[in-house]
């Protein structure tokens, strides 16, 4: 199975939990490689959003506080940076800030943009994995460098009690 096939399998596994909801860019409409991994998820479980990354992360936190498990999709890691205010200052710290009364769980899905067949430019293929690991103390950061990691990582994210940031490598989508 390819990296993309494993991602599709992982998304189908997540969708079996009725608390999950998928939101972000290209979740309902085509436009990125991530979309192809969500095609088997019912449309009523997907919320397409415009480019409002900070608001998307805030919406994800709000949904999690209401008992949902949002799968918040940011097709390129470069634009997840726009949401770092909500990610670092809220999601990562809300449990401690609320004296552990609240612990919203969000599964954040992002990808390091592909450089093949064409180089998309600096703001479309950056890898901020290490920087995010340094900034986040409670949100678990996982870079998916092998297809064999994908399903177990998403299963762990679903079953765990804390939020997770799963980073895909777009150039691997067709790799075994």
Write out pLDDT tens, residues 130-171: 999 999 999 999 999 999 999 999 999 999 999 999 999 999
What count of other Cβ atoms lies within 10 Å of the Cβ of residue 39? 11
* pLDDT score of 33: 87
The structure's pTM equals: 0.95
Residue 105 neighbours by CB under 8 Å, 6+ apart: 64, 69, 160, 161, 162, 163
Domain with residue 116: its CATH number is 3.40.50.970
Whole domain around residue 146: which residue ranges? 3-172
Q: Is the pLDDT of residue 114 over 90?
A: no
Closest CA relative to residue 34, chosen from 1, 60, 84, 71: 71
- Residue-wise pLDDT tens digits, 65-111: 999 999 999 999 999 999 999 999 999 999 999 999 999 999 999 99
What does the pLDDT read at residue 72? 98
What's the structural domain count of the chain? 1
């Amino acid at each position: 199975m390819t990296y993309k096939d494993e991602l599709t399998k992982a998304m189908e596994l997540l969708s079996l939990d009725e608390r999950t909801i998928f939101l972000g860019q290209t979740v309902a409409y085509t436009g990125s490689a991530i979309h192809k991994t969500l095609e088997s998820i019912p449309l009523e479980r997907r919320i397409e959003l415009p480019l409002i990354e900070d608001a998307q992360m805030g919406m994800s936190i709000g949904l999690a506080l209401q008992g949902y498990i949002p799968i918040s999709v940011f097709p390129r890691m470069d634009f997840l940076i726009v949401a770092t205010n909500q990610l670092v200052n809220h999601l990562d710290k809300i449990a401690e800030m609320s004296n552990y009364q609240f612990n919203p769980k969000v599964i954040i899905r992002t990808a390091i943009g592909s450089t093949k067949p064409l180089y998309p430019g600096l703001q479309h293929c950056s890898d901020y994995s290490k920087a995010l690991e340094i900034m986040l103390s409670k949100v678990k950061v996982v870079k998916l460098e092998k297809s064999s990691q994908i399903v177990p990582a998403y299963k762990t994210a679903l079953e765990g009690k804390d939020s997770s940031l799963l980073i895909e490598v777009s150039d691997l989508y067709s790799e075994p």
